[in-house]
Amino acid sequence: MSTPQHWTVLGFDTSGPHIAAALWHGDRVIGQRMVETARGQAEHLMPVLEQLLSDAGMAWRDLNLLGVGIGPGNFTGVRIAVSAARGLRLSLGIPAFGVSSFELMRDPEALGAHAAELVSIEAPRGQGYVQAFRYGAPQSPPELIDPATPPEAVRLGTDMRVTGFRAAEIAQPFGAEWEDRLPEEIGPRLCRIVDWRAHHLGETPDRPTPLYVRPADAAPPSDPPPVILD
């Protein structure tokens, strides 16, 4: 991938009851939007992104990279954002990075840190989804656990660190370091991760794909999810 002196990154996420978006240029956030909404994400996402670009005095052609939240999260919400990112990737001819909710939970100031980090995000019914990372790179598929009784299989060694949802409970049986975190500043974090992966890791992404840890709950939404573009 070529390396412009200053990336311009557009990142967005609809994996929860929100539309989170941000613009990143060079080494800083130059605009962000957070719209709390449990419905209508498909209708409102593109107007939010267009307004974000307009407020920054930019157009679609000014973008170098895209970043999109791929979940785990709300089944339909994830598909809305991923479908939009794939469409923009094709129309603009620029790379699109899929960024997981686990990556968004990590420390944005230390993305390449920690040799044995277990990241936890909230799952339905008080459970947790966890995934292991080594210096910012995922090491295994995510899995569903009960944070009150974490299985021995998630132990990462003597230098283990747990970050995220109910981190203290998960860390306790293993004597691990821990830091409770909640998802926040989603748009800016997403852009920072894309910049780090592209600029510092030299990563060339494939098309973004939703990340599912478990099948969607049995009752489908009344409206069909958007078609995922190739």
Residue 56: give its domain's CATH number: 3.30.420.40
Tell me what pLDDT residue 218 has: 41
Tell me what pLDDT residue 109 has: 85
Tell me what pLDDT residue 4 has: 53
- Do 98 and 39 fall within a single domain? yes
- Do 65 and 98 fall within a single domain? yes
Tell me what pLDDT residue 183 has: 86
Measure the CA–CA gap between 126 and 113, rounded to whole angstroms.
Answer: 28
Main-chain phi, psi angles of 174, to 5 degrees: -105, 0
Structural domain count, the chain: 2
CATH number at residue 120: 3.30.420
212, part of any domain: no
Tell me what pLDDT residue 214 has: 73
196, part of any domain: yes
Domain that holds residue 141: 111-180
pLDDT beneath 70, residues of the chain = 1-5, 215-230
Over residues 174-224, the pLDDT tens digits come to: 999 999 998 889 999 999 999 999 988 999 998 999 999 875 554 444 555
Q: Which residues of 125-155 are buried (b: 16+ CB within 10 A; e: fewer)?
A: eebbbbbbbeebeeeeebeebebeebeeebb
Tell me what pLDDT residue 6 has: 75
